[in-house]
Chains A and B, each alone.
Chain A
Amino acid sequence: MQHAETTQGRPFLEARNIGKRYGGLHAVRDVNLSIYPGEVIGIVGDNGAGKSTFIKMLAGDHEPTSGELLIEGRPVRFSNPRDAKQAQIETIYQDLALCENLSVMDNIFLGHELTRNPVLRLLQRNKMHIESRVLLDDLGIGIPSTHELVVNLSGGQRQATALARVAKAGAKLIILDEPSAALGVRETRALLDLILRFRSQGKSILVISHEMRDVFEITDRIAIFKRGELIAIKRTKETTPDEIVSLIIRGRQ
């Protein structure tokens, strides 16, 4: 096993004293975190601890109000999700960010549509349907038709759609905000396998989860958030679920 050493070398992404205020509310304050290639970091914490807000800053969805971000050592500013995508960061949001009025295929390709004719930019529907099918089968989650509208899908199928979109994009850092919340047992298994596969491809993964078993199975390190602060980072191998839970609840061991 090599991931004990993954915190060495140059981090892919480094957050320095990152903070976010919503008016008077300090949702995230002074978070320092480095994410190395090929590691899986779990983020845990109570509801309202600031986990989603933190990852949204990495995803370019919200701009930080303080601190700085570095990608491979270079300072960057993400003023919208496009910037983060350009830096090879892909995100699955807690609410999945799907267009329910569109088909599974449309959502998988949203923002990356295949087109021909540079002027008219005509959609290559057939090609996108075929590629979507391949991606979905690969993920092992059953969606009968890529033509189906997302509004008619189950929670697990929606999750799969969002995952397929990220899998397609081929990012260096993949962020997942509570991805297993809507999943059944079989679907969760497939998700965990997928995350491990991403890691074996050298990608970094940041995953927010409440499921201690999952967190301990797949992560290399665990970051604990409390009231907007990152209060501890533990190596998964050197901690226990009890220790993490007590950190989440009491803020100490």
Chain B
Amino acid sequence: MTQSVTQPDRNAGGFNLFGFARSQEGVVVFLLVALMIVVAVFSAASPYFFDVRNGMNIGRAISIIGIASAFTTLLMIAGGLDLSIGAVMNAAGVVAAMVLTQTNLGVGGAIVAAVAVGALVGWVNGMFIAKLGINPLIMTIAMQFVVRGLTLGFSASASKVIVDPTFLAIGQSYFHIGPLAIPAPLLWMLLTMLVLWFVLRFTLFGKYVYAVGGKASACRRAGINVNVITIQLYMLSGIGAALAGVVLAAIQGAGIPYGAGSELSVISAVILGGVSLAGGIGLIEGTLVAVLLVGVLKNGMTLMGISSVFQMVAEGLVLVGAVTLDRLKRRL
């Protein structure tokens, strides 16, 4: 064997523009360009838009969807789907608030209890989906009902006000880095994404996430325990939703058992970011830029005084545009 052959070979043949446009990295670059255009337009349209404090407002506003989206990115790359995350968010916020007000387990106990609820819901989802082959859509909708009902029942539908300053700091404090005051929720979101980016890119688990999404049967035949991976991913999804719920409760200053139905916003952000519904393809970077893009759109439109009703329309159109482009570029 000669030296030259045993070198790990790099991408042969130089840069290929069409190939790049079709790749997952291409999607991220495209979204970044779209984001920059949108930022430029709003900066011209509103004097309040291009401003550090407004940037931080956007960061805080997207953090909840961002945290949940990061976990959902992993699940959807592996071909899964979780529609119970909105219900888990509510449940986690209420559980945290109840632990804080009715026990002396403190902030740590509240977070652990909330995360445990998320993990449990995810485990149930994962068991039924992996072991019995129940369709994820059906299973997680069913769990959404179960969790919502239990949350309303256990809380007697009453919102629980949280006064513990340490807990509130999770959602309401700022980290000062130089002249920047970064809202804590934004930091949690960025940390979450950084960790999951690392997992996806560098670890065996991350490789299996892509592999299972690519072809689960091939993974099984290669000796990978696909069921375990699937269950772990649904548990992670539940944990992610619970963490998002904790931060949401801290931002709100209350655990509110009703109202939130974030699952579709989360899933649409993940798809906008380039994750294929069929699984196997996607990057955390894409999800980050997609969440930013939606957040900037909403914020900019609010500053321009556009009704939230039309903001919904815009959000829908952006998603349609993104998936249409995704279809078209395959013909390149």
- Interface residues of chain A, those whose CB is within 8 Å of chain B, are 59, 61, 80-82, 85, 91, 93, 97-102, 106, 110-113, 115, 120-123, 126, 129-130, 133-134, 137, 144-147, 165
Tell whether, in the assembled complex, residue A130 and residue B221 are in contact, meaning their CB atoms are under 8 Å apart.
no
> What distance in Å separates the Cβ of A96 from its nearest Cβ neighbour in chain B?
8
> What distance in Å separates the Cβ of A74 from its nearest Cβ neighbour in chain B?
20
Of the candidates B11, B202, B203, which one forms a contact with A147 in the assembled complex, judged by CB atoms under 8 Å apart? Answer: B11
Interface residue? B211 (CB, 8 A): yes
| Residues on A with beta carbons closer than 8 Å to the beta carbon of B305 | none
Tell whether, in the assembled complex, residue A133 and residue B8 are in contact, meaning their CB atoms are under 8 Å apart.
yes
Known pairs A99-B215, A113-B204; A61 contacts B221 (CB<8 A): yes
Known pairs A99-B210, A106-B207, A133-B5; A82 contacts B12 (CB<8 A): no
Query: Considering the chains assembled together, what is the distance between the CA atoms of A144 and B5 in angstroms?
Result: 10
Of the candidates B202, B221, B222, which one forms a contact with A123 in the assembled complex, judged by CB atoms under 8 Å apart? Answer: B202
CB closest residue in chain A, given B198: A120
Tell whether, in the assembled complex, residue A97 and residue B12 are in contact, meaning their CB atoms are under 8 Å apart.
no
A-B contact count (CB 8 A): 97
Known pairs A99-B211, A123-B203; A145 contacts B11 (CB<8 A): yes
Interface residue? B10 (CB, 8 A): yes
Tell whether, in the assembled complex, residue A134 and residue B1 are in contact, meaning their CB atoms are under 8 Å apart.
yes
Question: Which chain B residues numbered 1 to 42 have a C-beta less than 8 Å away from chain A?
Answer: 1, 5-12
Interface residue? B220 (CB, 8 A): yes
Tell whether, in the assembled complex, residue B221 and residue A134 are in contact, meaning their CB atoms are under 8 Å apart.
no
CB closest residue in chain B, given A138: B1
Interface string of B209-252 (1 = CB under 8 A from A): 01101110111111111000000000000000000000000000
Tell whether, in the assembled complex, residue A130 and residue B214 are in contact, meaning their CB atoms are under 8 Å apart.
no
Tell whether, in the assembled complex, residue B224 and residue A111 are in contact, meaning their CB atoms are under 8 Å apart.
yes
> What distance in Å separates the Cβ of A61 from its nearest Cβ neighbour in chain B?
6
Of the candidates A85, A115, A129, A137, which one forms a contact with B204 in the assembled complex, judged by CB atoms under 8 Å apart? Answer: A115
| Residues on B with beta carbons closer than 8 Å to the beta carbon of A110 | 211, 218-219, 222, 224
Tell whether, in the assembled complex, residue A98 and residue B215 are in contact, meaning their CB atoms are under 8 Å apart.
yes
Tell whether, in the assembled complex, residue A82 and residue B218 are in contact, meaning their CB atoms are under 8 Å apart.
no
> What distance in Å separates the Cβ of A123 from its nearest Cβ neighbour in chain B?
6
Tell whether, in the assembled complex, residue B215 and residue A111 are in contact, meaning their CB atoms are under 8 Å apart.
no
- Interface residues of chain B, those whose CB is within 8 Å of chain A, are 1, 5-12, 202-205, 207, 210-211, 213-215, 217-225, 280-281
Tell whether, in the assembled complex, residue A144 and residue B9 are in contact, meaning their CB atoms are under 8 Å apart.
yes
| Residues on A with beta carbons closer than 8 Å to the beta carbon of B220 | 61, 80-81
Tell whether, in the assembled complex, residue B221 and residue A59 are in contact, meaning their CB atoms are under 8 Å apart.
yes
Known pairs A147-B9, A147-B10; A122 contacts B223 (CB<8 A): no
Tell whether, in the assembled complex, residue A100 and residue B214 are in contact, meaning their CB atoms are under 8 Å apart.
yes
Known pairs A111-B223, A130-B6; A99 contacts B218 (CB<8 A): yes
Question: Would you mind naming 15 contact pairs between A and B with Cβ atoms under 8 Å apart?
Answer: A61-B221, A93-B221, A99-B215, A99-B219, A100-B214, A101-B214, A101-B281, A112-B223, A123-B207, A129-B8, A133-B8, A137-B5, A145-B10, A147-B9, A147-B11
Tell whether, in the assembled complex, residue A102 and residue B6 are in contact, meaning their CB atoms are under 8 Å apart.
no
| Residues on B with beta carbons closer than 8 Å to the beta carbon of A101 | 210, 213-215, 280-281
Query: Considering the chains assembled together, what is the distance between the CA atoms of A106 and B225 in angstroms?
Result: 17
Tell whether, in the assembled complex, residue A130 and residue B8 are in contact, meaning their CB atoms are under 8 Å apart.
yes
Known pairs A123-B207, A146-B9; A111 contacts B214 (CB<8 A): no
Query: Considering the chains assembled together, what is the distance between the CA atoms of A164 and B1 in angstroms?
Result: 17
| Residues on A with beta carbons closer than 8 Å to the beta carbon of B202 | 120, 122-123
> What distance in Å separates the Cβ of A107 from its nearest Cβ neighbour in chain B?
8
| Residues on B with beta carbons closer than 8 Å to the beta carbon of A97 | 215, 217-218, 221-222
> What distance in Å separates the Cβ of B3 from its nearest Cβ neighbour in chain A?
11
